[in-house]
Amino acid sequence: MPDPRLLAALCGALLCASGLRAASECSVPLGMESGDIADSQISASSVYVGFMGLQRWGPELARLHRTGIVNAWTASNYDKNPWIQVNLLRKTWVSGVVTQGASRVGTHEYLKAFKVAYSLDGHTFTFIQDTEKSGDKVFVGNVDNNGLKLNLFKSPVETQYVRLFPVLCQWACTLRFELLGCELNGCSEPLGLKDHAIPDKQITASSTYKTWGLQAFGWYPFYARLDNQGKFNAWTAATNNASEWLQVDLGSQREVTGVITQGARDFGSIQYVASYKVAYSNDGRTWTEVKDSRTGKSKIFPGNLDNNSHKKNVFETPVLARLVRILPVAWHNRITLRLELLGC
């Protein structure tokens, strides 16, 4: 299902009853707002640089609901054919886009109209077509700088790259946005760590680090929930070695398609898992590690680069499992994790 905040912000009763709910099987936010889509995956034809060169309105800022003084992408005033692009890193179903403008130096700026193009290789792009008229579809954009505008495609497109092309801009071509869609197998829902649908007792680990050796200052496995807040808000292993693990019991066999990881901070020390393996089981005795189809060996997934950003990894082939273990391979300072499992 779409993010509840998007539903609340975007839906009048009629829209939710018809359009959005009808498309809800493939309208999950793909990661612009959450940070699952990394800065390096977002590019643009140009960037506006203002205030004596000190303000750079870069494409990596074009995230829905982003706050701050410089909080969106703005194209250069000299760019006659601007665009902003997201590389999803893999083939994905994309079913729509949510756009938002921003306020820059007191001016309200946004896209009044735009086109969307998509590509599998990043070189040859196809514009979404208007099924009622011949030619490229021109989507209706925003009417102010802060409201949200939802546009769902007639049918999802299978793509890796998505480009938005401003057609008509208010003051300047300024944009924050989110892409909607789903994995190709349509199975990419959060499985219950962040929202506590998975209870604490079903999250276990090989060991637990305790700051200053105090029980009250333990970084217990049940803290390992994506975006968990508080002083103790993640799992940290007692030792830094590759025999440590974090385990989630899903309660029953589920189809698991991916993982989102996040680090944390302990008294100013930035800690995270830089790479890891994933193992799964149905009985807790026999474990299988997720394999790399190219080498046949256990897949080593790239992890985080800091303590707070999300890193999403999708399996090449979904696995059926009740128990999932994260096996750290490399880390920064201490083995520390917050996470969410994806699947259905």
Domains of the chain: 4-182 (2.60.120.260), 189-343 (2.60.120.260)
Question: Taking Cα atoms as reference points, which of 74, 172, 163 lies closest to residue 122?
Answer: 163
Give the pair of three-digit tokens for residue 190: 């959060």
Q: H helices of the chain, where? A: 4-10, 13-15, 21-22
Contact 28, 189 (CB under 8 A): yes
Name beta bridge partners: 218.
Answer: 210
Distance, CA of 79 to CA of 200 (rounded, Å): 52
Within its chain, how far is the Cα of 270 from the centroid? 21
Question: Using CA atoms, how far apart are residues 218 and 225, in angstroms rounded to an integer?
Answer: 15
Residue 77 sits at φ, ψ, to 5 deg, of -60, -20
Query: What backbone torsions phi and psi does residue 253 show, to the nearest 5 degrees?
Result: -65, 130
Length of the chain: 344
Chunked mean pLDDT (size 10), the chain, 344 residues? 50 40 71 92 96 89 96 97 97 97 91 99 97 92 98 96 98 98 86 98 98 92 97 97 98 96 93 98 97 94 95 92 99 98 95
- 129, two tokens: 């077509």
Beta bridge partners of 319: 256
Which of the 8 DSSP states describes residue 17?
A: I
pLDDT of the residue at 4: 52
Burial class (CB in 10 A: 0-12, 13-18, 19+), 98: buried
Please identify which residue in the block is written with the tokens 């403008």. Answer: 101
- Cα 124 to Cα 102: distance, rounded to the nearest angstrom: 30
Tokens 């985080």 appear where? 304
In angstroms, the CA 309 to CA 51 distance is 28
